[in-house]
Structure 1
């Protein structure tokens, strides 16, 4: 069975012609799914009963069900546990920062990158999410928010998984998200975060007509140290990553976000800050300093005075450096905390 929500608008039109229908029927299906959030053929009332029966024999939709919602008492963010058609689970998070509502979207069940300070990595990779499973997270979050007459303002691919490790499905999902006949988000409101898969990063920029925002989880400037905590550096060294960032075809006024998780007594010294400033010299970047969210996997948050001293070094070097709010940390919905109730292999 083919899943209609895994198909682009063009592919939906093609499928309809294969059924002997006019291409505009594909556009109707697309509108029902992404403009109206309907994933039940029987509710698509401008399709004939005969066509709906024909479609039901050959097509379906990805099953994705809300099984738990937890709201932060600290900031109002909401973590949503979702169950997929094969009974695997993912988490997605509505991050609430004043009027700004950001959907934190997962791209994989688990992750194979192995970053030692991340709870998702402790699951290992179970599988990639399909196009429909990626996009449907956003639709589900907007449906939940609609109960309060709210909707997402931003999308970040910072949930479970490494987005660029599922690049083909990610790119197709982004096209639906940006399409004015799809979810109609501006490319300025969508951010993809990566731990540094250099080849895939280049490919993403080659394949997307409207480049979205980029965030790079750097965290270490010395490649030997980075390899110890982020195995991706064995294949893609820091030097190769920074060189790639320097040569990306960025649009004017767009800056790369550098994410730097501060780990107590590991990468939080003023000397580490000086090394970071040197590595990033001349790059159009802004730096998000992330205070590590304490967990049960053996790392601790940097002291507040160290965080402020680290930021001051960067500011004194003329860099834009911000201490990122840790939204959803009390519900294990913040950076590095998602694990969808799987057992973490510590």
Structure 2
């Protein structure tokens, strides 16, 4: 923390000031952020107690006074400083440091610390995921940043539920969603922030640009990879079904129709549905049909992939460079 404030001298844990500070924090059950936000009279009293018995320097007292000015006067750097004072962890503080750049007022921080300062309820300090419970206590205008909270929810819902499009009816404050989105997007004034823009799709869903864009890029790469196989997928499957139906063991007519339609309009097949609907069965049939091609199995978790691989009966040809891409998931 001393380096963040560009102080040259290091605080010694054996100093009188340090011992007095630790005693005050433990006795009053407060953290350093609580301390610097005390009323003037109480703060000055605490500073006097910290300095009591100290022979010179008064480094800790100077640092606390400086932190207090930055936070109470709402100077640039207040959000990051408040969070670091509330959640003092050396590895978090070190990740924000810069040896020669003063990005946030007089704080020596690197560029990676800037996003959190500007959007503290949505962005994270560099190399650290901030907890909402800590942000509630650390950020002064927490309740005035509902647009950031909304964006945070969309991001977390997308990551947790593996769904790009979030149903508006499942979100809170439905009548304010457009306001939240507009306010949040206006804050994304840096080019690198734009990837987090929020949009409404068909007046029913909210999505974040980066998730849709990344998914489309992945699909594009998969499509390019699938084009390396110089055959008509759909015709190949239908021919295999007609000539090897007994070997493939397809007794269910509905599953046969699914297989016949699987690659009719695309060289990428998405197999999705709840448990027990036959996702693994279909993936296994397709794998057997394309027995002489190497396969890539994609899913939303490693355990699902391992389970899928155990149940696959098809052989894997490692010497071929072509790929058949099979994406198996419960949700899409």
TM range (shorter): under 0.3
Which has a greater percent of strand? 1
Which has the higher Rg, Structure 1 or Structure 2? 2
Q: TM-score, normalising length from structure 1?
A: 0.26
Q: TM-score, normalising length from structure 2?
A: 0.26
Structure ranking higher on relative contact order (CA contacts 8 Å, 6+ apart): 1
Which has a greater percent of helix? 2
